[in-house]
Chain A
Amino acid sequence: MSRRFRNKVLACLGFLACALALPAFCGPMGFKESWMVMGDFSPHWQEAFVNYALTPRDALGASTLYMRSDDERKSRQLEDVTYTRLLKRWNLPQAQANIWFLGGLGYVTGNDFVGYKPMASPGVQVDYETTRVYASATARLYRADGINHDFTSARLGFSFYEVDYDETQPWLVFEARRMTGLTNRTEVTPMLRLIHNRYFLELGVSNSAQGRINFMYIF
């Protein structure tokens, strides 16, 4: 397979994954021996996440996630330990593509049942990125006894222009996501993404008129 053909295949896979609505950010972990802090906050979905990269491919962490249904009658609180694994990376001359495993084990509480239940949240993310284009797709299960809040999302974005390494780069990113058992509609959020060195910020308003802020920081 020629390099040009392989690059085209990878680009198509990235966009196809988005089209099929397989969510998330850039990469879900940083470089070896780094910490990554992430947050995703909107009225219905509030997640804080920190992990540490033990190797270039493996990170351990912890997260806390609050989920709420559209009608605000049902809410969940999940606390879990997480494991992130870079399953495959393609470092291409002008692009990078990745397949990630995302996993979590913890417990969930809710306002419609008493006590807590063990919850598992395995998932996969694929992404493709150049200096001007970004695409990703994520599918993640959130399962506990009698609970299914599976999550799928797709992102597609472009940067307005290329910048030097030490300058702020603005992007426009569109995300579509669905959350089983919490909402019956697909939430679409256009977001302004700003990347500057080790800072990553996204701001948007969804088609449900809900504000959203995402951030990441590596150290």
Chain B
Amino acid sequence: MKKSVIALALALATLPSLAVTSIKATVNGMVCSFCAQGIEKRISSMPAAKAVFVDLKKKTVAIEAKEGQTLDGNAITAEITDAGYDVVKLETVQKSVEEIKSEVRARK
């Protein structure tokens, strides 16, 4: 019994590290999908990026990390800046890009 409790505790302790992590950026100036291609292309090529979602209306760029990898917020900001836009807010969320996409679209 004691061993089972310890095993369960260890399993629960490792859950956060297994959770999906994404960075959600709020970006000013992002009004045209043609012009915003740079964001998607540049961020998709980052080694730790698994998926990218762009929403013009909500000014949102969401990037999901590959399992076991960490996204670099500064590098993401630099890429968005190089694509020609301004990052006004950057937050790390324990959600997948698909979840963020569903949330954003549900709010429209």
Contacts and interface: CB of A to CB of B under 8 A. Distances in A.
Contacts of B90: none
B31 A195 contact: no
Contacts of B30: 91, 96
A26 B28 contact: no
Given A32-B82, A218-B34, A91 B28 contact: yes
Query: How many A residues are at the interface, by size bracket?
Result: 20 to 34
Interface of A is mostly: loop
Nearest to A95: B31
B61 to A, nearest CB: 10
Interface stretch (B2-10, B52-60, B91-99): B52-60
A4 interface: no
B31 A130 contact: yes
Contact of A30 (B33, B37, B53): B37
A208 B35 CA distance: 31
Nearest to A216: B34
Contacts, number: 85
A16 interface: no
A92 B38 CA distance: 18
B41 A197 contact: no
Given A93-B59, A198-B34, A31 B83 contact: yes
Contact of A89 (B31, B36, B84): B84
Contacts of B41: 31, 34
Interface residues of B, number: 29
Contacts of B28: 91-93
B81 interface: yes
A137 to B, nearest CB: 17
Contacts of A163: 33
Interface in B76-108: 81-86, 88, 105
Contacts of B81: 56
B29 interface: yes
Given A56-B81, A93-B28, A31 B38 contact: yes
A170 interface: no
B34 A31 contact: no
A131 B88 CA distance: 19
A165 B41 CA distance: 13
A129 interface: yes
Interface of B: 27-39, 41-42, 53-57, 59, 81-86, 88, 105
Given A89-B84, A131-B31, A195-B33, 17 more contacts: A26-B35, A31-B37, A31-B42, A32-B38, A32-B42, A32-B82, A32-B83, A94-B31, A94-B59, A95-B29, A96-B32, A130-B31, A163-B33, A165-B53, A195-B32, A197-B33, A197-B37
